[in-house]
Amino acid sequence: EDAERITSADVAVVEHRRRVLDEWYAWRDAMEKELAEERAALGLPADPVGELLRAKAAEIAPDGQEQVIE
Amino acid sequence: MRPILLKGHERPLTQVKYNRDGDLIFTTSKDQQICVWFSHNGERLGTYRGHQGAIWSVDVDPTSTIIASGSADNTIRLWDIKTGKCLKSWEFPTAVKRVEFNEDGSKLLGVTEKRMGHLGTIVVLDIKIDVEAEQSDEKALTIVCEESKATVAGWSYLSKYIIAGHEDGSVSQYDAKTGDLIYNIPVHELNSSITDMQWSSDRTYFITASQDKTAKLISAKDLEVLKSYPADTPLNTATITAKKDFVILGGGQAASEVTTTSSRQGRFEARFYHKIFEDEIGRVRGHFGPLNSIAADPTGKSYASGGEDGYVRVHHFDKGYFDFMYEVERERANRQQQMGTATA
Protein backbone atom coordinates (compact mmCIF):
# COMPACT_ATOMS: atom_id res chain seq x y z
CA GLU A 1 0.00 0.00 0.00
CA ASP A 2 2.87 2.35 0.92
CA ALA A 3 4.67 1.48 -2.28
CA GLU A 4 1.51 2.23 -4.19
CA ARG A 5 1.15 5.61 -2.54
CA ILE A 6 4.77 6.47 -3.36
CA THR A 7 4.30 5.40 -6.96
CA SER A 8 1.20 7.53 -7.39
CA ALA A 9 3.05 10.50 -5.86
CA ASP A 10 5.88 9.95 -8.34
CA VAL A 11 3.40 9.76 -11.17
CA ALA A 12 1.87 13.05 -10.04
CA VAL A 13 5.32 14.71 -9.96
CA VAL A 14 6.15 13.44 -13.42
CA GLU A 15 2.75 14.52 -14.76
CA HIS A 16 3.28 17.96 -13.29
CA ARG A 17 6.75 18.26 -14.85
CA ARG A 18 5.45 17.12 -18.20
CA ARG A 19 2.79 19.82 -18.10
CA VAL A 20 5.30 22.50 -17.01
CA LEU A 21 7.64 21.51 -19.83
CA ASP A 22 4.84 21.57 -22.41
CA GLU A 23 3.68 24.99 -21.22
CA TRP A 24 7.21 26.36 -21.48
CA TYR A 25 7.71 25.14 -25.03
CA ALA A 26 4.27 26.35 -26.07
CA TRP A 27 5.21 29.82 -24.83
CA ARG A 28 8.63 29.65 -26.52
CA ASP A 29 7.13 28.59 -29.86
CA ALA A 30 4.54 31.39 -29.75
CA MET A 31 7.15 34.00 -28.76
CA GLU A 32 9.64 32.89 -31.41
CA LYS A 33 6.96 33.01 -34.09
CA GLU A 34 5.85 36.49 -33.01
CA LEU A 35 9.44 37.71 -32.97
CA ALA A 36 10.12 36.37 -36.47
CA GLU A 37 6.97 38.06 -37.78
CA GLU A 38 7.80 41.39 -36.17
CA ARG A 39 11.34 41.22 -37.51
CA ALA A 40 10.07 40.53 -41.02
CA ALA A 41 7.46 43.33 -40.78
CA LEU A 42 10.19 45.81 -39.81
CA GLY A 43 12.32 44.62 -42.71
CA LEU A 44 15.09 43.57 -40.34
CA PRO A 45 17.38 40.65 -41.10
CA ALA A 46 16.49 37.41 -39.31
CA ASP A 47 19.99 37.30 -37.85
CA PRO A 48 21.12 40.92 -37.24
CA VAL A 49 24.46 39.97 -35.75
CA GLY A 50 25.20 37.56 -38.59
CA GLU A 51 24.78 40.53 -40.97
CA LEU A 52 27.14 42.66 -38.91
CA LEU A 53 29.77 39.95 -38.78
CA ARG A 54 29.56 39.42 -42.55
CA ALA A 55 30.00 43.17 -43.03
CA LYS A 56 33.01 43.18 -40.73
CA ALA A 57 34.56 40.21 -42.53
CA ALA A 58 33.97 41.90 -45.89
CA GLU A 59 35.80 44.98 -44.63
CA ILE A 60 38.81 42.95 -43.56
CA ALA A 61 38.90 40.86 -46.73
CA PRO A 62 37.02 42.98 -49.31
CA ASP A 63 37.05 40.53 -52.23
CA GLY A 64 35.76 37.71 -50.05
CA GLN A 65 39.05 35.92 -50.50
CA GLU A 66 41.13 34.65 -47.66
CA GLN A 67 44.30 36.63 -47.35
CA VAL A 68 47.65 35.24 -46.35
CA ILE A 69 49.03 37.25 -43.48
CA GLU A 70 52.81 37.06 -43.27
CA MET B 1 34.61 20.94 -13.35
CA ARG B 2 38.02 22.26 -12.26
CA PRO B 3 37.92 26.05 -12.14
CA ILE B 4 40.47 28.39 -13.65
CA LEU B 5 41.33 31.19 -11.27
CA LEU B 6 41.83 34.58 -12.91
CA LYS B 7 44.13 36.69 -10.78
CA GLY B 8 44.67 40.26 -11.81
CA HIS B 9 42.18 42.44 -10.01
CA GLU B 10 43.06 43.87 -6.64
CA ARG B 11 39.59 44.82 -5.47
CA PRO B 12 36.09 43.32 -5.60
CA LEU B 13 34.72 42.41 -9.02
CA THR B 14 31.67 44.33 -10.21
CA GLN B 15 30.78 42.71 -13.55
CA VAL B 16 31.85 39.76 -15.67
CA LYS B 17 30.89 39.55 -19.34
CA TYR B 18 31.60 37.17 -22.23
CA ASN B 19 31.78 38.28 -25.82
CA ARG B 20 29.38 36.65 -28.28
CA ASP B 21 31.82 33.96 -29.37
CA GLY B 22 32.52 33.04 -25.77
CA ASP B 23 36.30 33.18 -26.25
CA LEU B 24 36.86 36.41 -24.30
CA ILE B 25 35.84 37.46 -20.80
CA PHE B 26 35.75 41.12 -19.79
CA THR B 27 35.83 41.98 -16.10
CA THR B 28 35.42 45.21 -14.16
CA SER B 29 36.41 45.95 -10.60
CA LYS B 30 36.63 48.64 -7.99
CA ASP B 31 40.39 48.68 -8.77
CA GLN B 32 39.70 51.07 -11.69
CA GLN B 33 40.77 48.74 -14.48
CA ILE B 34 38.98 46.59 -17.01
CA CYS B 35 40.63 43.25 -17.81
CA VAL B 36 40.17 40.96 -20.80
CA TRP B 37 40.99 37.24 -20.57
CA PHE B 38 40.94 34.18 -22.80
CA SER B 39 38.10 32.05 -21.48
CA HIS B 40 39.68 28.70 -22.41
CA ASN B 41 42.88 29.10 -20.37
CA GLY B 42 42.39 32.19 -18.22
CA GLU B 43 45.35 34.01 -19.71
CA ARG B 44 45.05 37.77 -19.43
CA LEU B 45 45.21 39.55 -22.78
CA GLY B 46 45.26 43.04 -21.50
CA THR B 47 43.83 45.83 -19.42
CA TYR B 48 42.03 49.04 -20.25
CA ARG B 49 43.24 51.91 -18.07
CA GLY B 50 41.97 55.44 -17.74
CA HIS B 51 38.98 55.48 -15.42
CA GLN B 52 39.49 57.51 -12.25
CA GLY B 53 37.11 55.57 -10.03
CA ALA B 54 35.55 52.17 -9.41
CA ILE B 55 34.21 50.64 -12.62
CA TRP B 56 30.69 49.29 -12.22
CA SER B 57 29.87 47.83 -15.58
CA VAL B 58 31.17 46.67 -18.95
CA ASP B 59 29.63 45.45 -22.18
CA VAL B 60 31.02 44.27 -25.49
CA ASP B 61 29.43 44.96 -28.87
CA PRO B 62 28.12 41.94 -30.84
CA THR B 63 31.08 41.97 -33.25
CA SER B 64 33.72 42.11 -30.48
CA THR B 65 35.21 45.35 -31.81
CA ILE B 66 34.60 47.78 -28.95
CA ILE B 67 33.66 47.68 -25.28
CA ALA B 68 31.80 50.24 -23.20
CA SER B 69 32.33 50.84 -19.49
CA GLY B 70 30.53 52.79 -16.79
CA SER B 71 32.32 54.16 -13.75
CA ALA B 72 32.10 55.99 -10.44
CA ASP B 73 34.16 58.73 -12.14
CA ASN B 74 30.86 59.78 -13.80
CA THR B 75 31.87 58.69 -17.29
CA ILE B 76 30.93 56.15 -19.89
CA ARG B 77 33.92 55.23 -22.05
CA LEU B 78 34.34 53.35 -25.29
CA TRP B 79 37.47 51.31 -25.87
CA ASP B 80 39.08 49.62 -28.87
CA ILE B 81 39.27 45.97 -27.79
CA LYS B 82 42.41 45.22 -29.82
CA THR B 83 44.59 48.22 -29.01
CA GLY B 84 43.19 49.11 -25.58
CA LYS B 85 42.80 52.72 -26.72
CA CYS B 86 40.03 54.82 -25.16
CA LEU B 87 37.95 56.02 -28.12
CA LYS B 88 35.40 58.22 -26.40
CA SER B 89 34.29 59.46 -23.02
CA TRP B 90 30.89 60.91 -22.06
CA GLU B 91 30.49 62.80 -18.80
CA PHE B 92 27.47 62.68 -16.51
CA PRO B 93 26.59 64.41 -13.24
CA THR B 94 26.74 61.14 -11.27
CA ALA B 95 28.24 57.64 -11.36
CA VAL B 96 27.33 55.24 -14.16
CA LYS B 97 26.18 51.93 -12.68
CA ARG B 98 25.35 49.94 -15.78
CA VAL B 99 25.98 49.95 -19.52
CA GLU B 100 24.52 47.72 -22.21
CA PHE B 101 24.59 47.57 -26.03
CA ASN B 102 21.42 46.74 -27.93
CA GLU B 103 21.27 43.64 -30.15
CA ASP B 104 23.01 45.18 -33.17
CA GLY B 105 25.39 47.43 -31.24
CA SER B 106 23.96 50.64 -32.73
CA LYS B 107 22.87 51.96 -29.34
CA LEU B 108 24.25 51.95 -25.84
CA LEU B 109 22.35 52.65 -22.66
CA GLY B 110 23.77 53.85 -19.38
CA VAL B 111 22.15 53.90 -15.94
CA THR B 112 23.17 56.92 -13.90
CA GLU B 113 23.10 57.08 -10.11
CA LYS B 114 20.71 59.18 -8.04
CA ARG B 115 22.33 61.80 -5.84
CA MET B 116 21.33 65.00 -4.06
CA GLY B 117 19.93 67.25 -6.77
CA HIS B 118 20.03 64.54 -9.43
CA LEU B 119 17.42 61.90 -10.16
CA GLY B 120 18.55 58.55 -11.50
CA THR B 121 18.37 58.35 -15.30
CA ILE B 122 18.74 55.95 -18.19
CA VAL B 123 20.60 57.59 -21.06
CA VAL B 124 20.82 56.32 -24.62
CA LEU B 125 23.79 57.00 -26.91
CA ASP B 126 24.06 56.32 -30.64
CA ILE B 127 27.12 54.20 -31.38
CA LYS B 128 29.14 53.45 -34.47
CA ILE B 129 30.91 50.10 -34.20
CA ASP B 130 34.04 51.44 -35.83
CA VAL B 131 37.25 52.32 -34.02
CA GLU B 132 37.98 55.08 -36.58
CA ALA B 133 34.54 56.71 -36.41
CA GLU B 134 33.72 59.94 -34.63
CA GLN B 135 31.14 59.11 -31.95
CA SER B 136 28.26 61.50 -31.28
CA ASP B 137 28.48 63.71 -28.17
CA GLU B 138 24.72 64.05 -27.90
CA LYS B 139 22.44 61.76 -25.95
CA ALA B 140 19.77 60.24 -28.17
CA LEU B 141 17.37 59.90 -25.23
CA THR B 142 17.17 60.42 -21.48
CA ILE B 143 14.66 58.61 -19.30
CA VAL B 144 14.28 60.11 -15.83
CA CYS B 145 13.33 57.65 -13.07
CA GLU B 146 11.09 59.78 -10.87
CA GLU B 147 9.66 57.04 -8.67
CA SER B 148 12.59 54.80 -7.82
CA LYS B 149 16.05 54.93 -9.35
CA ALA B 150 17.04 52.25 -11.84
CA THR B 151 19.82 49.95 -10.67
CA VAL B 152 20.07 47.92 -13.89
CA ALA B 153 18.66 48.21 -17.42
CA GLY B 154 18.85 46.56 -20.79
CA TRP B 155 17.50 46.33 -24.34
CA SER B 156 14.79 43.88 -25.34
CA TYR B 157 14.47 42.01 -28.64
CA LEU B 158 14.34 44.33 -31.69
CA SER B 159 15.50 47.13 -29.35
CA LYS B 160 11.78 47.67 -28.88
CA TYR B 161 11.79 48.17 -25.13
CA ILE B 162 14.21 49.33 -22.50
CA ILE B 163 13.65 47.24 -19.40
CA ALA B 164 14.86 48.53 -16.05
CA GLY B 165 15.11 47.01 -12.59
CA HIS B 166 14.70 49.43 -9.71
CA GLU B 167 15.83 50.00 -6.16
CA ASP B 168 12.26 49.48 -4.93
CA GLY B 169 12.10 45.95 -6.37
CA SER B 170 9.96 46.83 -9.38
CA VAL B 171 10.63 46.33 -13.08
CA SER B 172 9.76 48.89 -15.77
CA GLN B 173 9.18 48.58 -19.46
CA TYR B 174 9.85 51.75 -21.51
CA ASP B 175 9.29 52.38 -25.18
CA ALA B 176 12.90 52.44 -26.40
CA LYS B 177 12.19 55.08 -29.07
CA THR B 178 10.22 57.61 -27.05
CA GLY B 179 11.30 56.74 -23.52
CA ASP B 180 7.65 56.56 -22.42
CA LEU B 181 6.93 54.32 -19.47
CA ILE B 182 4.60 51.49 -20.50
CA TYR B 183 4.51 49.26 -17.41
CA ASN B 184 5.96 49.34 -13.91
CA ILE B 185 5.37 46.14 -11.98
CA PRO B 186 6.39 45.24 -8.43
CA VAL B 187 8.17 41.98 -9.15
CA HIS B 188 10.33 41.62 -6.06
CA GLU B 189 9.58 42.40 -2.42
CA LEU B 190 9.01 46.11 -1.81
CA ASN B 191 12.31 47.98 -1.41
CA SER B 192 14.43 44.90 -2.07
CA SER B 193 16.73 46.32 -4.70
CA ILE B 194 17.14 44.54 -8.02
CA THR B 195 20.85 43.83 -8.27
CA ASP B 196 21.19 42.24 -11.69
CA MET B 197 19.26 41.53 -14.87
CA GLN B 198 20.48 39.41 -17.75
CA TRP B 199 18.89 38.38 -21.04
CA SER B 200 18.03 35.15 -22.79
CA SER B 201 19.91 34.86 -26.09
CA ASP B 202 17.00 36.26 -28.14
CA ARG B 203 16.18 38.96 -25.55
CA THR B 204 12.53 37.94 -25.29
CA TYR B 205 12.91 37.17 -21.59
CA PHE B 206 15.33 37.98 -18.79
CA ILE B 207 16.26 37.08 -15.25
CA THR B 208 16.41 39.45 -12.30
CA ALA B 209 18.29 38.96 -9.03
CA SER B 210 17.21 40.76 -5.88
CA GLN B 211 18.13 41.34 -2.27
CA ASP B 212 14.84 39.64 -1.40
CA LYS B 213 16.71 36.32 -1.94
CA THR B 214 14.89 35.43 -5.13
CA ALA B 215 15.55 35.51 -8.84
CA LYS B 216 12.70 35.78 -11.37
CA LEU B 217 12.39 34.91 -15.01
CA ILE B 218 10.30 37.57 -16.75
CA SER B 219 8.84 38.02 -20.23
CA ALA B 220 10.06 41.22 -21.92
CA LYS B 221 6.83 41.68 -23.87
CA ASP B 222 4.42 42.01 -20.94
CA LEU B 223 6.62 41.68 -17.81
CA GLU B 224 4.84 38.49 -16.84
CA VAL B 225 6.77 36.57 -14.19
CA LEU B 226 7.36 33.16 -15.78
CA LYS B 227 9.48 31.49 -13.11
CA SER B 228 10.75 32.14 -9.60
CA TYR B 229 13.93 30.80 -7.95
CA PRO B 230 14.10 31.08 -4.18
CA ALA B 231 17.51 31.18 -2.46
CA ASP B 232 18.57 31.52 1.17
CA THR B 233 20.77 34.57 0.77
CA PRO B 234 20.47 38.01 -0.79
CA LEU B 235 21.31 37.73 -4.48
CA ASN B 236 23.73 39.94 -6.38
CA THR B 237 23.55 38.24 -9.74
CA ALA B 238 21.67 35.79 -11.96
CA THR B 239 22.32 34.46 -15.44
CA ILE B 240 20.66 32.16 -17.99
CA THR B 241 22.79 29.37 -19.49
CA ALA B 242 22.87 28.62 -23.21
CA LYS B 243 22.41 25.06 -24.52
CA LYS B 244 21.08 23.77 -21.18
CA ASP B 245 17.92 25.05 -19.47
CA PHE B 246 19.56 26.24 -16.28
CA VAL B 247 19.97 29.50 -14.44
CA ILE B 248 22.87 30.31 -12.12
CA LEU B 249 22.44 32.58 -9.09
CA GLY B 250 25.08 34.20 -6.91
CA GLY B 251 25.17 36.29 -3.81
CA GLY B 252 25.92 35.82 -0.15
CA GLN B 253 25.83 37.89 2.95
CA ALA B 254 29.42 38.80 3.72
CA ALA B 255 29.74 39.66 7.40
CA SER B 256 27.89 36.77 9.00
CA GLU B 257 29.33 34.03 6.82
CA VAL B 258 32.95 35.09 6.69
CA THR B 259 33.73 33.71 10.16
CA THR B 260 32.59 30.23 9.13
CA THR B 261 34.63 30.19 5.93
CA SER B 262 37.09 27.32 5.94
CA SER B 263 40.65 28.28 5.16
CA ARG B 264 41.15 25.93 2.22
CA GLN B 265 38.07 26.58 0.19
CA GLY B 266 35.75 29.51 0.14
CA ARG B 267 32.17 28.67 0.99
CA PHE B 268 30.42 31.16 -1.17
CA GLU B 269 28.48 29.29 -3.78
CA ALA B 270 27.09 29.61 -7.28
CA ARG B 271 23.64 27.99 -7.27
CA PHE B 272 22.29 26.13 -10.26
CA TYR B 273 18.53 25.86 -10.79
CA HIS B 274 16.58 24.21 -13.54
CA LYS B 275 15.18 27.10 -15.55
CA ILE B 276 11.88 25.42 -16.39
CA PHE B 277 11.20 23.32 -13.26
CA GLU B 278 12.57 25.90 -10.79
CA ASP B 279 14.33 23.22 -8.68
CA GLU B 280 17.76 23.82 -7.25
CA ILE B 281 20.03 21.18 -8.80
CA GLY B 282 23.52 21.94 -7.57
CA ARG B 283 26.01 24.34 -6.03
CA VAL B 284 29.60 25.21 -6.84
CA ARG B 285 31.78 26.48 -4.02
CA GLY B 286 34.96 28.42 -4.25
CA HIS B 287 34.80 32.14 -3.59
CA PHE B 288 35.87 33.65 -0.28
CA GLY B 289 33.29 36.39 -0.44
CA PRO B 290 29.89 37.06 -2.02
CA LEU B 291 29.54 36.46 -5.74
CA ASN B 292 28.97 39.85 -7.30
CA SER B 293 28.55 38.85 -10.93
CA ILE B 294 28.06 35.59 -12.82
CA ALA B 295 28.08 35.31 -16.61
CA ALA B 296 27.19 32.33 -18.77
CA ASP B 297 29.20 31.66 -21.91
CA PRO B 298 26.85 32.35 -24.89
CA THR B 299 28.19 29.18 -26.55
CA GLY B 300 27.25 27.12 -23.49
CA LYS B 301 30.70 25.77 -22.68
CA SER B 302 31.48 27.56 -19.42
CA TYR B 303 30.48 30.11 -16.84
CA ALA B 304 32.48 32.72 -14.94
CA SER B 305 31.92 34.30 -11.54
CA GLY B 306 33.44 37.45 -10.10
CA GLY B 307 33.65 37.77 -6.34
CA GLU B 308 33.93 40.32 -3.61
CA ASP B 309 37.22 38.45 -2.93
CA GLY B 310 38.80 39.97 -6.08
CA TYR B 311 38.93 36.71 -8.04
CA VAL B 312 37.24 35.53 -11.19
CA ARG B 313 36.61 31.78 -11.42
CA VAL B 314 35.93 30.20 -14.81
CA HIS B 315 34.35 26.76 -14.89
CA HIS B 316 34.21 24.67 -18.05
CA PHE B 317 31.27 22.30 -17.97
CA ASP B 318 31.97 18.58 -18.08
CA LYS B 319 30.09 15.70 -19.65
CA GLY B 320 27.92 15.08 -16.60
CA TYR B 321 26.57 18.59 -16.86
CA PHE B 322 25.61 18.21 -20.51
CA ASP B 323 24.12 14.75 -19.98
CA PHE B 324 21.95 15.80 -17.04
CA MET B 325 18.28 15.67 -18.00
CA TYR B 326 14.98 15.22 -16.26
CA GLU B 327 13.07 12.12 -17.34
CA VAL B 328 10.39 14.27 -19.00
CA GLU B 329 13.07 16.20 -20.91
CA ARG B 330 14.54 12.96 -22.18
CA GLU B 331 11.06 11.86 -23.26
CA ARG B 332 10.60 15.06 -25.17
CA ALA B 333 14.05 14.84 -26.77
CA ASN B 334 13.37 11.26 -27.86
CA ARG B 335 9.99 12.21 -29.24
CA GLN B 336 11.49 15.04 -31.27
CA GLN B 337 14.24 12.81 -32.55
CA GLN B 338 11.62 10.31 -33.72
CA MET B 339 9.67 13.04 -35.42
CA GLY B 340 12.90 14.18 -37.06
CA THR B 341 13.56 10.70 -38.41
CA ALA B 342 9.97 10.35 -39.54
CA THR B 343 10.09 13.53 -41.65
CA ALA B 344 13.58 12.88 -42.98
Backbone angles phi, psi at B319, to 5 degrees: -60, -40
Cβ contacts of A27 on chain B, cutoff 8 Å: 226
Strand, helix or coil for residue B235: strand
3-state SS of B83-101 is: CCCEEEEEECCCCEEEEEE
Complex ipTM, two decimals?
A: 0.91
pLDDT of residue A4 exceeding 90, the answer is: no
Chain A: closest CA distance from residue B3 (Å): 31
Answer whether B236's CB lies under 8 Å from B214's CB. no
Which ranges of B259-326 would DSSP assign to H, the alpha helix? Answer: 319-323
Q: Which of A52, A53, A54, A59 to mutate to test the interface with B (most CBs of B within 10 A)?
A: A52
- DSSP secondary structure string, B186-199? E-SSTT--EEEEEE
- Tens of pLDDT, residues B218-274: 999 999 999 999 999 999 999 999 999 999 999 997 655 455 544 456 689 999 999
Please count the CA atoms within 13 angstroms of the CA of B247 that sit on its side-chain side.
32
Pick from B157, B276, B331: CB nearest A35: B157
Q: Do A44 and B158 touch (CB under 8 A)?
A: yes
Pairing mode, strands B205-210 and B214-219: antiparallel
Q: Kindly list the residues from chain A whose CB atom is less than 8 angstroms away from the CB atom of residue B226.
A: 27
Work out the average pLDDT over B66-79: 98
**Mean pLDDT throughout B33-56?**
98
Q: Which residue of chain B has the CA closest to A21?
A: B276
Q: B28 to chain A nearest CA, in Å?
A: 25
Report which secondary-structure segment, H or E, holds B274. strand B266-274
Residue B65 with chain A: CB contacts under 8 Å:
56
Sort out which chain A residues have CB atoms less than 8 A from B157's CB and list them.
Answer: 35
Closest Cβ–Cβ partner in A31, A44, A49 for B62: A49
Residue A70, pLDDT above cutoff 60: no
B271-309 residues labelled b (16+ CB within 10 A) or e (exposed):
bbbbbbbbeeeeebebbbbbbbbbbbbeebbbbbbbbbb
First to last CA, chain A: 78
Chain B nearest-CA distance from A1, in A, is 25
Residue range B102-130: mean pLDDT, rounded: 97
Q: Are residues B62 and B103 in contact, defined by beta-carbon separation less than 8 angstroms?
A: yes
List, in order of start, the domains of chain B with CATH numbers. Answer: 232-344 (2.130.10.10)
To the nearest whole Å, the CA of B91 is away from the closest chain A CA by 29
Q: Measure the CA–CA gap between B5 and B311, rounded to whole angstroms.
A: 7
DSSP state for residue B119 in the 8-state scheme: -
Other Cβ atoms less than 10 A from the Cβ of B183: the count is 13
Least confident of A47-51, B57-61, B159-163, B168-172: A47-51
**Is B202 close to A32, i.e. CB distance below 8 A?**
yes
Residue of B nearest to A56 (CA): B63
CA–CA dist B241, B248 (Å, integer): 7
Positive or negative torsion for Cα B250, B64, B275, A45: positive
